[in-house]
Amino acid sequence: MSKELRTNRLIRVPRVFVIDEEGRQLGQMSTREALEQAQAHNLDLVEVNPTARPPVCRFMDYGKYKYMQSKSERDSRAKRKPQELREVKVRPKIDDHDFEVKVKTIDRLIRSGDRVKVTLRFRGREIVHMELAKELLKSLFEKVQEISVIAQKPTMDGRQMVMVLAPKTGPQAQAKPKANTQATASQTPATEASKPEAKAAENA
């Protein structure tokens, strides 16, 4: 966390060197005069270099400054964080409620910077409905396509189909994935099932 700076009436020295909000040097003046000028512009007087003689102060919106500093630190931590591969398990027959629960889980994991392995497990003769399974995975991706990309297309691994999603980064974040406007959650195999299965297990 960035350290708290002294502001306004917490600045106790008699004189300061002032820089305005545009970066222009206004020179030395009494702390009282500097504070009056800052308040006249609806800004704070912030001590940015307390070790200088006299200390250097700047006019700024301190609340906005702290917000931007905090955001910058969060972004920096997110970039340093090693990307983990998290798994979300689904079944070919899934009702609308469980479908939305899975979407929210994937969305949360992607936003936290992790890759997500979506595993669709088949039981018995469910494995003959490959196309319906692919449509279900496609529908899941379309729900989070604004923040993710497909790192691994749906592929078979034994009796399960696997798709890997990754957070968008850099130029990819500007790319608009092709969306099939015909495919919606209500048109997925979820609603074609006569009886919804029990909720799929999920590893978070």
pLDDT (0 to 100) of residue 144: 94
pLDDT (0 to 100) of residue 43: 96
For 78-108, what is each residue's pLDDT tens digit? 666 667 889 999 988 889 999 999 999 999 9
Does the pTM surpass 0.85? The reply is: no
For 174-192, what is each residue's pLDDT tens digit? 344 444 433 333 334 443 4
pLDDT (0 to 100) of residue 82: 66
Confidence of residue 2 (pLDDT cuts 50, 70, 90): low
Residues 155-181, mean pLDDT to the nearest whole number: 69
pLDDT (0 to 100) of residue 74: 77
pLDDT (0 to 100) of residue 80: 65
- Is 8-77's fold the same as 85-192's? no
Domain 85-192: give its CATH superfamily: Translation initiation factor 3 (IF-3), C-terminal domain (3.30.110.10)
80-114 b/e (C-beta count within 10 Å ≥ 16 → b): eeeeeebbbebbbbbeeebbebbbebbbebbeebb
Whether residue 82 has a cis bond before it, omega within 30° of 0: no
Position 62 pLDDT exceeds 90: yes
pLDDT (0 to 100) of residue 137: 92
Confidence of residue 171 (pLDDT cuts 50, 70, 90): very low
pLDDT (0 to 100) of residue 100: 94
Domain regions of the chain by residue span: 8-77, 85-192
**Which CATH fold would you assign to the domain 8-77?**
Ubiquitin-like (UB roll) (3.10.20)
For 6-56, what is each residue's pLDDT tens digit? 999 999 999 999 999 999 999 999 999 999 999 999 999 999 999 999 999
pLDDT (0 to 100) of residue 148: 94
- In sequence order, the 6+-apart residues with CB closer than 8 A to the CB of 101 are 199
